Amino acid sequence: MNPACNIFIIGPTGAGKSSLGRRLGAHYGRPFVDLDQEIEQRAGVSTSVVFDIEGEAGFRKREAALLESCSQCQGIVMATGAGAVLDAANREHLAARGFVVWLQASIDQQLQRLRMDRSRPLLAGDDRRQRLQAMAAEREPLYQSIADLVVASATDNLATVGARCIDLLDARWVQADAVEGQRQA
């Protein structure tokens, strides 16, 4: 695998992007960046507070600036926030600067994984299912448009999904290396 190639993980809220990112970073010996955690560290407050003070527009502005900067690094694994794909420039940076893994999760999986999490501002309110469905309708075509690899989490636990993703990535890079070797021969 090209050591300079970045791996970017996209997908819906609660899909397990951060867990997968940590696993991939450890497996490939690369630094892991969680974009939402980086925003919190730099802002000095939680994303909920950023949303309260600056609104979604302020959060997205911070997210875009940080994604632009982090995606220029080489050899990292980065988990984006679920809505990072809403910005066309973010999608361009991700597609051009790394290998994009779309980690899918069903609405039921998201609801199960997020059942105790009340820290996500875009899920505030009574009907989380409806909100997740609306976000999926808007975001899934955007995820699809830049994904190099799609990994469905199905009913598997995240450790199984991580192992499957590593197998798929390794197979992709072995195949790419073989094709490149044929071109050079």
**DSSP, residue by residue, 112-133:** HHTTT----GGG-SS-HHHHHH
Long-range contacts of 155-159 (CB under 8 A, 24+ apart): 155/109, 158/16, 158/19, 158/20, 158/23, 159/23
- CATH fold, domain 6-184, is Rossmann fold (3.40.50)
Please list the alpha-helical segments (H only) found in the chain: 17-28, 35-43, 47-70, 88-97, 107-113, 128-146, 158-184
Mean pLDDT of 70-78: 95
Average pLDDT, the chain: 86
Give the pLDDT score at 159: 81
The CA distance from 147 to 160, in Å, is: 20
* pTM score: 0.88
Tens digits of per-residue pLDDT, 36-68? 999 999 999 988 899 889 998 999 999 999 999
**Tokens for 160?**
């199984």
Encode 56-68: b = buried (16+ Cβ within 10 Å), e = exposed: eeebbebbbebbe
Higher pLDDT, 22 or 182: 22
Give the pLDDT score at 86: 96
Give the pLDDT score at 1: 46
Tens digits of per-residue pLDDT, 98-130? 999 999 999 888 888 776 666 666 666 678 888
The CA distance from 49 to 115, in Å, is: 21
Mean pLDDT of 170-174: 77
